[in-house]
Amino acid sequence: MKEIILCRYGEIILKGANRPEFEGALTRELKRRLAPYGRFSVRRAESTVYVTPEDGSCDLDGAYETAKLVFGFVGVTRAAECEKTMESVLETARAYLPPLMGSARTFRVDAKRSDKHFPKTSPEIAAEVGGAILSAAPRLRVDLHHPDVMIRVEIRDRAAYVHAGQEKGAGGLPRGTSGRGLLLLSGGIDSPVAGYMMAKRGVEIEALHFESFPYTSERAREKVFTLAEELCRYCSRIHIHVISLTRIQEELRRSCDEEFFTLMLRRFMMKLAERCAKEYGCRAILTGESLGQVASQTMDALAVTDAATDTPILRPLIGMDKEEIVEISRKIGTFDTSILPYEDCCTVFTPRHPKTKPTENEILSQVAKIDFDGLLDEAYATLYTETRRVDESYL
């Protein structure tokens, strides 16, 4: 008996002629993510990726937990592989399944016979395996409607597989299949969630963080790097580009009307993001903005922000409320870091009464008060880059 991991595709199966491209990207990403856990054979067949340890030193537990985080799979299962004979299936079921049942009291067996040459029908396979489990664990009973555990037996091309159900995978599309996007990564709750959601749609994430030292601290910067590391559980690797806004913010405070301060700052951010996106091959800017959440996220404010750039701006959280965003933040493991009380640049020189219904002409009148392009060049010259990886040893 050999224990392996079965990883089942999601929407990749709908990709038609482009399907091989998505399958290749998915397999490559899985191999990269599995490398720290030992040598595994990875093959594709029947909308499933089979992950088989090549020797006894492989960490199957670590590989299994990692496979569940790889975008592109909707289900991940640990299974016992055996010969395609009824005797082997029954022997495997008796030995492999009862220890996995834990405190369960009821079970059901479903069988799937992809190999139609197998001499037993699916109902016959299910009935015999159910009997074998009952003989090995008499405390259990069958419940066809609300079982504690769903047992599955699959007769496939090369072998038979027995397992106690599957866990949910990450879903979505494989990393990089939807291009590369530049995430505006602050230290708050929203932007890491936005990065996760776009990564789930196959976007390879680069990040841009704005700091305002000495008004923002080293701890605030490290908080952002920690958030990037937490996102790497799903994204593998993130390059974090950091730009200082200190000079811009000081000049805005000196020269512009206070009510436009945040909007002007956002305009600079978008222009800097546009330049960074072009330099690093990103086809879109990604933000954690949610409509109406703060003054700079009203429909009018977003319109004058968008006017600053020709690069597409994607806002995956735009129609979500804060509770929904927090729920995802907790799920992906970034919430506790996001709520650490270290300031970010958006909290520096915050206006008392920010403009919520600005016009483009009003913003342009504020732009005319400063050396916009000069400040832009000066800020971009401060850019430096750090990289965070899910594991330094293999990427």
Q: 246-277: per-residue pLDDT in tens?
A: 999 999 999 999 899 989 999 999 999 999 99
pLDDT tens, position by position, 179-234: 999 999 998 999 999 999 999 999 999 999 999 888 888 898 999 999 999 999 99
Please tell me whether residue 142 adopts helix, strand or coil conformation: strand
Nearest by Cα to 84 from 109, 56, 119, 54 = 119
- State both tokens at 6: 């079965």
CB atoms within 10 A of CB 120: 15
How far, CA to CA in Å, does 266 sit from each of 178, 184, 330, 383? 26, 11, 27, 17
Strand 2-9 relative to strand 141-142, pairing? unpaired
pLDDT at residue 394 greater than cutoff 70: no
Give the model's pLDDT for residue 348.
64
pLDDT at residue 114 greater than cutoff 60: yes
How far apart are the C-alpha atoms of 66 and 233, rounded to whole Å?
Answer: 8
How high does pLDDT run on average in the chain? 92
How far apart are the C-alpha atoms of 348 and 215, rounded to whole Å?
Answer: 7
Q: What is the DSSP letter of 286?
A: E
Q: What is the DSSP letter of 330?
A: H
Q: What is the mean pLDDT of residues 304-315?
A: 94
Give the model's pLDDT for residue 345.
63
Share of the chain above pLDDT 90, in %: 81
Q: What is the DSSP letter of 201?
A: B
Give the model's pLDDT for residue 272.
97
Give the model's pLDDT for residue 309.
94
Neighbouring residues of 12: CB distance < 8 A, sequence distance ≥ 6: 19, 22, 23, 26, 47, 72, 173, 174
- The residues facing 43 across adjacent strands are 50
Give the model's pLDDT for residue 346.
65
Give the model's pLDDT for residue 391.
61
pLDDT at residue 110 greater than cutoff 50: yes
Please tell me whether residue 280 adopts helix, strand or coil conformation: coil
Give the model's pLDDT for residue 395.
37
Give the model's pLDDT for residue 350.
75
Give the model's pLDDT for residue 364.
93
How far apart are the C-alpha atoms of 144 and 77, rounded to whole Å?
Answer: 21
Give the model's pLDDT for residue 354.
82
pLDDT tens, position by position, 325-379: 999 999 999 999 999 887 766 666 677 788 889 899 999 999 999 999 999 999 9
pLDDT at residue 392 greater than cutoff 50: no
- The residues facing 345 across adjacent strands are none
CB atoms within 10 A of CB 127: 15
Strand 180-184 relative to strand 313-314, pairing? unpaired
Q: Which amino acid is at 217?
A: S
pLDDT tens, position by position, 15-24: 989 999 999 9
pLDDT tens, position by position, 138-180: 999 999 999 999 999 999 989 999 999 889 999 999 999 999 9
Domains of the chain and CATH, by start: 2-168 (3.30.2130.30), 180-389 (3.40.50.620)
pLDDT at residue 48 greater than cutoff 50: yes
